[in-house]
Chains A and B, each alone.
Chain A
């Protein structure tokens, strides 16, 4: 039992180490180092030996010294003797090894004897592996987007693996792609249009949704249940089904290529979610406040503006932020309704840019950064509001 667990533990931890070093190697390759092999065999042998040695030594040596010694041995053999790579790479390897030896530090021979100990180890390492794997898989495209926007066409073609940015160069050269898309491709204008459309959608949606949500939450009227169920059903309804009729109607009314047209469609598509989220919150406000207000002869307009709105600022801001994100990210309707470059939104402008095969990719990526940054910024900054909104309504898409 003990031997089996020891071997399993060493294997699991070794695979984890291989994974760690492989990610580091990929990142190092992308900084222009020529690393042509993962050397998995060598890492495997070292990792296995380190895990075993750790168990054998136990706490005869202070764990911090143990970690440093193991890390140094690994770095000396792998980085210095075998691969001969620069110091920054080896410092990274050292830190990884230090992290790794710390992680395996809590496992001992005694612990391995316990029931389910291999499953516990597997669970622990799977969690660690998951955190790193998902961080890497998610952040890598964003990293690539950002880095590519700072490169030049030639550099990208010569060595597509060199992601290193030369910060020493002139600011003008570094941000060249951004200057170009703002100057030659009118991205400044598109930012303004996107902002107007998104903020406009938020304002109109709230104007329509707050009274409607209040009615659904508080008042009794014929057709109330029908209304609240149809809100949910409409919310599930596919946008692609609306595209052709709306296109024909908008063409005949002359609403294509206009901000008004987009505002109407965006408001209509976000209204059901907004009403649904708001009425849920309004229901949680104590009724007594309104009853007092009715005694004071406040009209419904007074009740909404003086009582409901001030009390539901968190919910309203969460709805606002999230309608903003839907409108800012929207692509399908802007593709269908806009074909004049003077009325493009940012998303449509980037798609238009990519339609020209000659467009250098760094411009495309600079545009992508421009459209992504505001959303990510808002998301990270207001995360608390947004997450509750996301779970309550879940962004359509």
Chain B
């Protein structure tokens, strides 16, 4: 009795979860394996389209002979690079049609024209012509003839399915294309973006955790950058930072803080001297990181605020009795209480920033030293149209992420053990 109950429970569970599992597996897990497959192939964007045999039907009447008609099929292979094998052709005709010139490749039975055209190489073209006459002497309706479409079929290799593999893509990704620079840019972007958003998250959470008038409103406002569409925000920032008539540059010029406009999103380096030390700052990258921090600190804010509100009040009251200063309270009570949240946040934000594509793409398109790995996936795959290369970069991203997660959890595990 119990056994059957457990069985029905199992069955129900599988029925309930199956649709979701199938969809997620086919759209998320399958593509990841497909990525590995594609990354070992030489595929370009134009190879993706499956080659098709095509025919355009043109109906021509023959002068002085209303009972006869000429039909021209413009045949072609849609692919410029691949051949199609065993092309077959079929077309139907009205019940009073007799064929006049039967091609040796074709047969005409029951008012159905069937042809076997064999193999078509890439770019193949042929004008194939047949003449028909009605067997009862009636005139021909051209419109009706045109409306019947011929059917074509053929076999072709799907470039994605053959088993020619190569290591070329990975060699290119890892040894050419300034891979180290790409990695460093991605690392700067990810690391400083993550740390910055967490620091601002702590500051704002600490701030909103005080009592003041309009506190709930402030909490909503702080979340605006996070919930608004990235497209709108990126273009607004672009406008704000524009060197020619952007608001920021105009303001700085107006107050004579700068003498010439600064192209914050288009300039790779800027020379800065602090205390006599001259160094080069990656300007566009810094701006993009600023945008990233601005957009994502609300998430950190929300997590940390939730944690702050759960800290028992007694801890602070006890500290007050001991005569602790506000800074002592912050460093000795608040910070230790939020380290767990911060370490989770660091991981989540690090992973997401590492994969962030839209923000950089919309602000700079990856120019001026802001090309990160995800941008490179897009540029390789779609700008240069080398799908194989793009896939290889994606695989590199996945491997780096897995490595990060592995070390992070190992490190975290150790610290938990020590405690």
Contacts and interface: CB of A to CB of B under 8 A. Distances in A.
Which of B23, B232, B401 has its CB near the most chain A CB atoms (within 10 A)? B232
Interface in B314-370: 323, 325-327, 348, 351-352, 354-355, 357-358, 361-362
A138 B323 CA distance: 36
Interface in A90-140: 115-116, 119-120, 122-123, 126-127, 130-131, 134-135, 137-140
Interface string B384-402: 0001001100100110010
Contacts of B378: 240, 243
B175 interface: no
A263 to B, nearest CB: 11
B14 interface: yes
B327 A119 contact: yes
Interface string B1-30: 000001001101111110111011011111
Contacts of A138: 221-222, 224-225, 294
B222 A134 contact: yes
Nearest to A349: B231
Interface string A206-244: 001101101110011110100100000010111111111
A351 B231 contact: yes
A135 B221 contact: yes
A57 interface: no
Interface residues of A, number: 104
Contact of B49 (A145, A236, A243, A251): A251
Interface in B28-51: 28-32, 34-35, 38, 43, 48-50
A361 interface: yes
Contacts of B251: 26, 29, 161
A69 interface: no
A392 B254 CA distance: 46
Contacts of A234: 24, 28-29
Contacts of B255: 36-38
B228 A130 contact: no
B31 A246 contact: yes
A320 interface: no
Given A215-B12, A241-B397, A144 B239 contact: yes
B299 A394 contact: yes
Contacts of B246: 160
A234 to B, nearest CB: 6
B391 A245 contact: yes
Contacts of A142: 224, 228, 236
Contacts of A248: 34, 38, 43, 48, 160, 387
A157 interface: yes
B24 A272 contact: yes
A220 B9 CA distance: 7
A347 interface: yes
B59 interface: no
Contact of A271 (B23, B222, B230, B233): B23
A332 B358 contact: yes
Nearest to B213: A131
A222 B230 CA distance: 41
A208 B247 CA distance: 47
Interface string B250-272: 11001110000000000000000
B303 interface: yes
Contacts of A224: 13
A305 interface: no
A244 B348 contact: no
A286 interface: no
A252 B31 contact: no
Contacts of B352: 396-397
Contact of A116 (B27, B325, B381): B325
Nearest to A362: B239
Contacts of A247: 48, 381, 387
A145 B232 contact: yes
A21 interface: no
B229 interface: yes
Interface residues of B, number: 95
A364 interface: yes
Given A144-B239, A237-B28, A396-B352, A267 B23 contact: yes
Contact of A148 (B239, B294, B325): B239
B249 to A, nearest CB: 8
Contacts of B32: 237, 241-242, 245
Interface stretch (A70-78, A174-182, A374-382): A374-382
Contacts of B362: 331, 351
A37 B256 contact: yes
A350 B222 contact: no
B294 to A, nearest CB: 7
Contact of B232 (A38, A236, A350): A350
Contact of A144 (B222, B240, B325): B240
A354 interface: yes
A222 B10 contact: yes
A244 B20 contact: no
Contacts of B84: none
Contacts of B6: 220
A29 B218 contact: no
B273 to A, nearest CB: 23
Contacts of A131: 207, 212, 218
A347 B230 CA distance: 8
A328 interface: yes
Which of B23, B228, B229, B296 has its CB near the most chain A CB atoms (within 10 A)? B229
A141 interface: yes
Contacts of A372: 228-229, 232
B302 A252 contact: no
7 contacts: A141-B236, A237-B28, A331-B230, A367-B232, A368-B235, A390-B299, A395-B227
Interface of B: 6, 9-10, 12-17, 19-21, 23-24, 26-32, 34-35, 38, 43, 48-50, 158, 160, 203-204, 207, 210, 212, 218-233, 235-237, 239-240, 245-247, 250-251, 254-256, 294, 296, 299, 302-303, 306, 323, 325-327, 348, 351-352, 354-355, 357-358, 361-362, 374, 377-378, 381-382, 387, 390-391, 394, 397-398, 401
Shortest 7 CB-CB distances between A and B: which pairs?
A: A268-B27, A238-B355, A368-B232, A245-B34, A245-B31, A221-B13, A211-B16
Given A126-B207, A241-B377, A268-B27, 13 more contacts: A116-B326, A211-B16, A215-B17, A219-B12, A220-B10, A237-B28, A240-B355, A242-B27, A244-B377, A365-B235, A368-B235, A371-B231, A395-B226
